[in-house]
C-alpha cells in the first residue's frame, strides 16, 4: 500500500503545542488531542495527522495511545521519516532501548536531508549512551519455569522441615 505524501496546508494541520511542552495547559492539550482525533476521522490515511496525534498523546503521558497512533502512521506510510523517528523516540522515553535503537536505525535509513539525518543520529547517539550506562529495561527473553520450580521446591522443603520439628 503506497501513499504519496502530500504536504498539508497550514489550515489542515492543527496548531503545534509540542514545541514547548511546559507552556501548554492540560486543557489546551486536550483540545489539541480532540482536534487531531477529529482530523484523523476526516482523513484516516494521513500519516502526518496520525504522527501529530501520537506526539500529542505522548505529551499527555498516554503511551499506549501514542504508540498506536505512531504505528498506524508507519503502517499507512512506511517511508515516512517523522513517524518512524517519533516511534523510536517513544521507545527511548520508556527506556525500551533495544527496540528504540532498531526503530531509530530505520528512521536513519529513511532520512532524506541533512536535518533529518542529524536528528536521527542525535537520537541514536543518546540511545547508545544510555545503553552503555545501563539505563534500560531488561528484556524478558528467558523462560522463568526453572526458577519457579526451584522456588516451589525450596518452599516445600522448608515447610516440611518446620512441620516435622
Across the chain, mean pLDDT equals 84
| DSSP character string of 102-116 | HHHHHHHHH--SHHH
Give the confidence band of 52 by pLDDT, cuts at 50, 70, 90: very high
Residue 3: closest CA among 105, 90, 72: 72
Cα angle 159, 163, 165 (rounded to 5 degrees) comes to: 120
Three cell numbers, residue 138: 531488561
Whether the full predicted model's pTM is greater than 0.75, yes or no, is no
Question: Can you tell me the mean pLDDT for 33-48?
Answer: 92
pLDDT band at residue 145 using 50, 70 and 90 as cut-offs: confident
Residue 7 region by backbone torsions, left for phi larger than 0, else alpha for psi between -120 and 50, else beta: beta
The answer to whether 87 and 57 have CB atoms below 8 angstroms apart is no
Domain ranges of the chain: 17-139
Return the biggest CA–CA distance within the chain: 81
Give residue 159's pLDDT. Answer: 93
Which grid coordinates are listed for 162? 518446620
Q: What is the pLDDT of residue 24?
A: 76
**At the topology level of CATH, where does 17-139 sit?**
1.25.40
The pLDDT confidence band at residue 77, using thresholds 50, 70 and 90, is very high
Q: How confident is the model at residue 8 (pLDDT cuts 50, 70, 90)?
A: very low
Helix and strand element counts for the chain (H, E)? 7, 0
- How far apart are the C-alpha atoms of 33 and 71, rounded to whole Å? 17
Asked if pLDDT for residue 117 goes beyond 60, the answer is yes
**Alpha carbon distance 129, 113 (integer Å):** 24
To the nearest 10°, the Cα dihedral for 72, 75, 79, 82?
10
- Looking at residue 140, its pLDDT comes to 67
Amino acid at each position: 500500500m503506497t501513499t504519496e505524501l502530500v504536504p498539508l496546508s497550514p489550515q489542515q494541520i492543527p496548531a503545534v503545542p509540542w514545541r514547548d511542552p511546559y507552556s501548554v495547559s492540560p486543557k489546551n492539550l486536550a483540545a489539541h488531542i480532540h482536534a487531531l482525533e477529529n482530523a484523523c476521522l476526516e482523513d484516516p490515511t494521513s500519516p502526518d495527522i496520525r504522527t501529530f496525534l501520537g506526539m500529542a498523546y505522548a505529551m499527555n503521558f498516554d503511551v499506549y495511545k501514542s504508540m498506536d497512533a505512531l504505528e498506524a502512521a508507519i503502517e499507512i506510510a512506511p517511508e515516512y521519516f517523522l513517524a518512524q523517528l517519533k516511534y523510536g523516540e517513544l521507545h527511548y522515553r520508556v527506556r525500551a532501548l533495544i527496540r528504540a535503537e532498531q526503530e531509530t536505525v530505520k528512521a536513519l535509513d529513511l532520512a532524506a536531508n541533512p536535518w533529518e539525518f542529524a536528528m536521527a543520529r542525535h537520537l541514536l547517539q543518546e540511545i547508545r549512551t544510555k545503553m552503555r550506562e545501563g539505563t534500560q529495561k531488561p528484556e524478558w527473553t528467558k523462560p522463568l519455569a526453572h526458577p519457579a520450580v526451584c522456588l516451589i521446591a525450596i518452599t516445600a522443603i522448608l515447610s516440611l522441615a518446620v512441620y516435622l520439628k
